[in-house]
Structure 1
């Protein structure tokens, strides 16, 4: 397989979509990785496997309808494999294996059948001290936009997934690109004050637009830099409730076509006003684990 990814919105040809089959029992509180999952465990509203399978299959059918090759991880018994974006990402023609939480190491093995088709010289494993997950990494033309957390208390946050060392390594691997990092707001306890990944508070869409949540960024100047990159008139600002609901975590099939949650009324109306077709799904159960459409997809090839 010849990989090709230079941005978030070019026409999608091939993608790995997560699976919820044999998802395992509801995690104990101490096993949860994010404050939103913790909230739903405490409230007794943690999602059921059957509902999440149904939501993912709806996405698969839309992708196939638009002639996208849909690959699925091999199912591991009693294991959460929904968020394929976490385990790796593609930049240009290279697959970068993410250094994810140790408990999730099995997930990468479930896509071995895909990785075996990629030229070994195009597969990169970052040094062990580089922590990174795909939700924090966005190729954007001459830029690679990366969410991180620069606080000295990085190790205290289960929600801090990409460190400064990974940002520096990406710059070394892609010297012809500008790697721009963003210091994100983290919380282990408050899902409305936690940007788990960059795609939880920002995402490019269409040919010149972006969705953004100001409070996801700890540095005002970094937020302003992003807004100026797109132009204020091309940016939809979302509030803390919309960020919590994951409005910035939709998924582009092309510049003129996205998959979004049917409940994102304001966002979907805005997208349509910009000439972007919106295919809608109900993703409310998967959203309870602080991930949505971008999180559950790993693009391999875009035109």
Structure 2
């Protein structure tokens, strides 16, 4: 029996969940979702596609989006990574999302759950159109825990006593969770995870000798992994503007490849280490690629424009189950 184990963001990736490419915009995106973290191109597409599945709004874009995942799976498997995929949404799930006016999503496997050490933890997503995103992933996790040792937990359901838009939570999203051995950094900007979610995680993990560090982020940054990418021990890509209280003390001595807030919004820091020698990023980021290669790291590139258009990139579309 294998063991669920994620020891860091750059330990050799051996098994991961790679997202599907399904998304239906809320019926009234302007009033039902925060778009402050998206680029201008993204916002225009969102505002013109209310109530529509991406496949309905733009068939070619949908095909290109699906092709990105095919290319990503092929790349990961070429490095010996086991790739698991969530199921597709049922017609009932799609109909329900449209009837409720909130849409539906099955597109970023990083956020609905996360892995820390031997813990698989289902989180809670803040945006209403993402609240049910764990369901197509759950069959993968259920099958995984039958055959692989580890723990499987879920965060408490969000408190809706004050309505669907209540800020109580607890909200905890995988994009905010960054693992470095027994230290876990968790971002919060007001768009995703909140302090109630972080305190719940802290209470759980401290029983197992983990240290959980809240990281306050700029309000235009969706997740911590949009502002921080660990390439290997002692080297990271970071947007220092995004850290309202400065970088965490544990990372201040690390060597930095700095990016701007605008670049972070374009997901330039959301690449994926396969191990300490290989990093995956978008082929569009030519300046960043040169800087990473100058550090002796091989860079694999793909066109991930469509995924980035919907607010996530390589890390967002994967969630590790084994990194050791």
1:180 Cα deviation from its structure 2 partner: 1.3
- Specify whether residues 90 and 227 from structure 1 end up closer, same or farther in structure 2 by C-alpha distance, changes over 3 A only: closer
User: 2-side partners of 1:285 and 1:87: how far apart?
Assistant: 20
Residue equivalent to 2:14: 13
Residue equivalent to 1:58: 71
2:105 alignment partner, one of 55, 59, 80: 80
CA RMSD of aligned residues (A): 2.4
User: 1-side partners of 2:253 and 2:175: how far apart?
Assistant: 20
Q: Would you say 1:201 and 2:227 are equivalent positions?
A: yes
Q: Is the 8 A contact 1:23 1:49 kept in 2?
A: no
Residue equivalent to 1:172: 203
2:114 alignment partner, one of 89, 92, 109: 89
User: 1-side partners of 2:176 and 2:284: how far apart?
Assistant: 24
User: 2-side partners of 1:285 and 1:218: how far apart?
Assistant: 29
User: 2-side partners of 1:173 and 1:26: how far apart?
Assistant: 34
Residue equivalent to 2:46: 41
Deviations 1:130-184 (A, max 9, x none): 21100000111131011014xxxx5xxxxx2111122222222222122111111
Residue equivalent to 1:29: 29
1:108 alignment partner, one of 120, 134, 153: 134
Q: TM-score, normalised by structure 1?
A: 0.85
SS in structure 2 at match of 1:223:
coil
User: 2-side partners of 1:88 and 1:56: how far apart?
Assistant: 19
- Specify whether residues 43 and 210 from structure 1 end up closer, same or farther in structure 2 by C-alpha distance, changes over 3 A only: farther
Return 5+ residue gaps in structure 2 as ranges: 95-103, 158-168
Alignment of 1:280-295 (within 5 A): 280-295=301-316
User: 1-side partners of 2:62 and 2:223: how far apart?
Assistant: 24
More moved, 73-82 vs 199-208: 73-82
More moved, 45-54 vs 164-173: 45-54
Alignment of 1:94-243 (within 5 A): 94-101=119-126, 102-117=128-143, 118=145, 122-128=151-157, 129-149=169-189, 154=190, 160-175=191-206, 176-186=209-219, 194-219=220-245, 222-223=246-247, 225=249, 227-230=251-254, 234-243=255-264
User: 2-side partners of 1:217 and 1:40: how far apart?
Assistant: 29
User: 1-side partners of 2:312 and 2:124: how far apart?
Assistant: 18
SS in structure 1 at match of 2:110:
helix
1:298 Cα deviation from its structure 2 partner: 0.7
The number of aligned residues is 281
1:17 Cα deviation from its structure 2 partner: 0.4
Deviations 1:22-68 (A, max 9, x none): 54468642344533143433478987211111111111110011111
- Specify whether residues 284 and 197 from structure 1 end up closer, same or farther in structure 2 by C-alpha distance, changes over 3 A only: same
User: 1-side partners of 2:140 and 2:268: how far apart?
Assistant: 30
Residue equivalent to 2:165: none
SS in structure 1 at match of 2:111:
helix
Q: Is the 8 A contact 1:185 1:217 kept in 2?
A: yes
